[in-house]
């Protein structure tokens, strides 16, 4: 038996063709009023199984079971837009731990993130006891390269690289790993939304991500497996600052062609 398989229960199947219509890999066809797989191009996205009104299609060999959708899951557009408008990068944190169940929910948002070609290539490293050591390694690296970077960047020239330059004394840091960093950045965004919904503040640490990518030692401590890259780093905690209004943004730059 193959490791991963789409199994179609022909007793249940009524040949409605919905599964075939949503199959991006064109791997399902209806013949004699029954669905059947026709090739090897399946990316195991599970859409056929998610759309089947007869529950005739099951996916074997990839992860957890499926959750039934109860009613319509739809967010209020104004609320979503305001969440985007009023989220801020937080760099001041309360010295308060993030509860385990909240952390689990944030990681779940990362795990459920959609990925190119359904690669599901995301992994997460939660920095806890190694947080200060890893930050120290990144600080030393940045201090060492600053004289050169300062030639090209006023930001590098003028910034003070103190001991908390990367993580701002936040209680939790999550390093997101992926084969394709685009997938990791998408996960970061989903995780940020769930973190914010839990009252947390988040910072994307592009600087730490750069340091980790450049340092074999940091990658070793984090445990970056072969083939994976450090995609993004999220710094999280309860905010120690409250923003009262949105910030200025450039006018919309769009062309309709
Ligand atoms: C990909 C990315 C990387 C970032 N890296 C850092 C960082 O290393 N350090 C930092 O202080 N802010 C970092 N930021 C935060 C940006 O400076 C911030 O998003 C921007 O100034 C707008 O502010 P706001 O997020 O409060 O709206 C990063 C943001 C993004 C999107």
Q: Whose CA is nearest to atom 23 of ligand 1?
A: 89
What number does the ligand 1 atom closest to the CA of 208 have? 8
The rounded Å distance from CA 66 to ligand 1 centre is 35
CATH homologous superfamily of 77-237 equals: NADH Oxidase (3.40.109.10)
Q: What percent of the chain has pLDDT over 70?
A: 99
What are the CA-CA distances from residue 256 to residues 28, 117, 251, 253 (Å)? 37, 29, 16, 10
CA distance 142 to 155: 13
Q: What is the pLDDT of residue 1?
A: 55
User: How far is ligand 1, taken at its centre, from the CA of residue 144, in Å?
Assistant: 23
Section 107-111 average pLDDT: 98
Using pLDDT thresholds of 50, 70 and 90, give the confidence band for residue 240. Answer: very high
d(CA 194, CA 180): 22
Pocket test for ligand 1, best of 156, 206, 231, 236 (most atoms within 8 A of CB): 206
Q: Which atom of ligand 1 is nearest to the CA of 205?
A: 8
- Parts of the chain belonging to CATH 3.30.70.20: 5-60
* Element holding 247 (H helix, E strand): none
Ligand 1 mutation target, pool 204, 234, 242, 248, most atoms within 8 A of CB: 204
Nearest CA to ligand 1 atom 4: 206
Nearest CA to ligand 1 atom 16: 89
Residues 37/61, Cβ–Cβ less than 8 Å: no
Q: What is the C-alpha separation between 54 and 14, in angstroms, rounded?
A: 8
Cα end-to-end distance, the chain, whole Å: 50
Expressed in angstroms and rounded, the spacing between residue 89 Cα and the centre of ligand 1 is 6
Question: pLDDT tens digit string along 151-197?
Answer: 777 777 777 899 999 999 999 999 999 999 999 999 999 999 999 99
Q: Report the pLDDT value the prediction gives residue 99, as an integer from 0 to 100.
A: 98
Q: In which band, very low, low, confident or very high, does the pLDDT at 2 lie, cut at 50, 70 and 90?
A: low
Question: Is residue 247 lining ligand 1, measured as CB closer than 6 Å?
Answer: yes
Report the pLDDT averaged over residues 96-117: 98
Q: Is 21 helix (H, G, I), strand (E, B) or coil?
A: helix
* Total residue count of the chain as it appears in this document: 257
User: What pLDDT band is residue 4 in, cutting at 50, 70 and 90?
Assistant: confident
Q: Does 88 sit in the ligand 1 pocket, CB within 6 Å?
A: yes
Rounded to 5 degrees, φ, ψ at 204 are: -80, 120
DSSP 87-131: --B---B-S-PPPHHHHHHHHHHHHT---GGG----EEEEESTTH
Per DSSP bridges, beta strands 28-31 and 34-37 are antiparallel
Statement: residue 96 has pLDDT above 60: yes
- Is 90 exceeded by the pLDDT of residue 233? yes
Q: Per-residue pLDDT tens for 198-228?
A: 999 999 999 999 999 999 999 999 999 999 9
CA of 80: how far to CAs of 74, 75, 77, 84, in Å? 10, 7, 5, 6
% of the chain at pLDDT higher than 90: 86
Which pLDDT value is given to residue 40? Answer: 87
Q: How far apart are CA 173 and CA 184, in angstroms?
A: 15
CATH topology of domain 5-60: Alpha-Beta Plaits (3.30.70)
Which pLDDT band, with edges at 50, 70 and 90, does 65 fall under? confident
Portions of the chain given CATH number 3.40.109.10: 77-237
pLDDT digits (tens, 9 = 90+) for 18-60: 999 999 999 999 999 999 999 888 999 999 999 999 999 999 8
213 C-alpha vs ligand 1 centroid, how far in Å?
18
């Amino acid at each position: 038996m193959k490791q991963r398989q789409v199994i179609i229960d022909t007793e249940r199947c009524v040949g409605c063709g919905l599964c075939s219509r949503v199959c991006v890999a064109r791997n399902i066809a209806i013949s004699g009023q029954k669905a059947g797989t026709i090739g090897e191009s399946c990316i195991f996205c599970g859409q056929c199984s998610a759309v089947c009104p007869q529950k005739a299609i099951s996916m074997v060999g990839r992860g957890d079971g499926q959750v039934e959708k109860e009613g319509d899951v739809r967010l209020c557009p104004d609320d979503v837009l305001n969440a985007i408008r009023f989220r801020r990068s937080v760099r001041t944190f309360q010295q308060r731990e993030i509860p385990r169940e909240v952390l689990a929910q944030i990681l779940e948002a990362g795990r459920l993130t959609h990925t190119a070609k359904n690669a599901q290539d995301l992994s997460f490293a939660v920095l806890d006891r190694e947080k200060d050591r890893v930050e120290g390694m990144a600080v030393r690296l940045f201090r060492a390269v600053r004289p050169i970077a300062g030639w090209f960047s006023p930001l590098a020239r003028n910034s003070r690289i103190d001991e908390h330059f990367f993580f701002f004394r936040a209680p939790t840091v999550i390093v997101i790993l992926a084969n394709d960093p685009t997938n990791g950045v998408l996960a970061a965004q989903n995780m940020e939304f769930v973190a914010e919904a839990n009252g947390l503040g988040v910072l994307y640490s592009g600087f730490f991500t750069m340091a980790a990518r450049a340092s074999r030692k940091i990658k070793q401590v984090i445990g970056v497996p072969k083939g994976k890259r450090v995609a993004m780093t999220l710094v999280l905690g309860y905010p120690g600052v409250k923003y009262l209004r949105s910030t200025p943004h450039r006018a919309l730059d769009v062309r309709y062609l």
